Amino acid sequence: MERVFEVTSHEPIWIRDINHDGRFEIGNNYAIGVDMCHAAQPRWTDIYGYENERFRNVNYRFRRRFRSWPHKLRTSLKQYPDDCDVREYLGIAEAIVGHSAAARRELKKTIVGLGKAFRERKHSKDDPYSPASYQRDVRRLKARIRLAITRRVQDPPYDSSTAR
């Protein structure tokens, strides 16, 4: 027997058969956004399921659960327009609900925002943004842009199961 999946969260993790198909899913709730206080951070849920011989992010299978997210994140961005984390999740949410053009647009805007953040913080002592981190983030976003049409923008290795 081997461990085939693990996830750690700062919030309770749930296990439920949410679409009653006989396969249980695992849900990881976590806060997104970096510019606001903790209480104002939107709570995103990643859903994991067993598919094609492995666990993977299966948010794309539950698009109805994500239907309200584009509006929710756009509202948050009105208050925090430079929050690249929220904008990236807006791109993810748009992809999941099937709006691939909007998804690509928001993910490209996120890359622009990250470039601005990198220029501002690359020499910062208090809140540094290293070239390696910036390049990793841009690679992840470019991969998400490529995947946006498939709605599986969170496929590994860009999976957040152990990242939060």
Partner 1 sequence: MRFVDIRLFMYDFDGDGVKEPAVQEYSVGGSWDPSHVDVFMRKGGAWSGYSR
Among residue numbers 26 through 45, which ones bind partner 1 (CB under 8 A)? 26, 38
Judged by CB under 8 A, does residue 12 bind partner 1?
yes
With contact defined as beta carbons under 8 Å apart, do 106 and 62 qualify?
Answer: no
Q: Which is nearer to partner 1, 54 or 78 (by Cβ)?
A: 54
52-58: long-range pairs with CB below 8 Å, 24+: 54/4, 55/4, 55/5, 55/26, 55/161, 56/155, 56/156, 56/159, 57/152, 57/154, 57/155, 57/156, 57/159, 57/160, 57/161, 58/25
**Is residue 11 part of the contact set for partner 1 (CB under 8 A)?**
yes
Nearer to partner 1, 26 or 141 (CB): 26
Using CB under 8 A, pick the residue from 18, 19, 20, 24 that binds partner 1.
24
By CB under 8 A, name the binding residues for partner 1: 1-13, 15, 21-24, 26, 38, 49-50, 53, 55
